[in-house]
Amino acid sequence: MRHRSGKKHYNRTSSHRKAMFMNLSQALIENHTIKTTLTKAKGLRTYVEPLITLCKQDNDARRKLVFSRIRCKKTSKKLFEVVAPALKDRPGGYLRVIKRGFRPGDKAPAAQIEFVKENVSDSEELESLTEETA
């Protein structure tokens, strides 16, 4: 029986769900805003917000843990060096989900998910980090 299973399955296997949220979180951290379906955006919040909380304290154990969940060196570095310092004073609620009508193809409810603080995307550190990696 599947009574009170506690999470949405999105009609995918567990490995597919894990890969989907890993890819969505990478895109969100790199672009600071993405457009997806409403249910995926709400599910992505529960995946990314604990990662940002982990990144508030920078040590090797937390870097390894975040890297194991994102699997991208560039993205995890950006999370520790740009995103977490910009949100360090905030106790939680780092992401905002905005409803954006319906997707044209299948009329699924669309949403935009983005970071709450504006200085995360406008940070000067972000520009210097992208210049170093380029």
Q: What is the pLDDT of residues 70-113, one digit of tens each?
A: 999 999 999 999 999 999 999 999 999 999 999 999 999 999 99
Q: What is the pTM of this model?
A: 0.86
Can you tell me which residue has the tokens 């520009």?
A: 127
What residue type is assigned to position 38 of the chain?
L
Decide if pLDDT at 129 tops 60: no
Neighbours of 68 (CB within 10 A): 9
Domain 14-133 annotated CATH 3.90.1030.10: yes
Q: What is the dihedral of CA 82, 85, 86, 87, to 10 degrees?
A: 120
| 3-state secondary structure at position 52 | helix
- N-to-C CA span, the chain: 51
* pLDDT (mean) for 10-21: 95
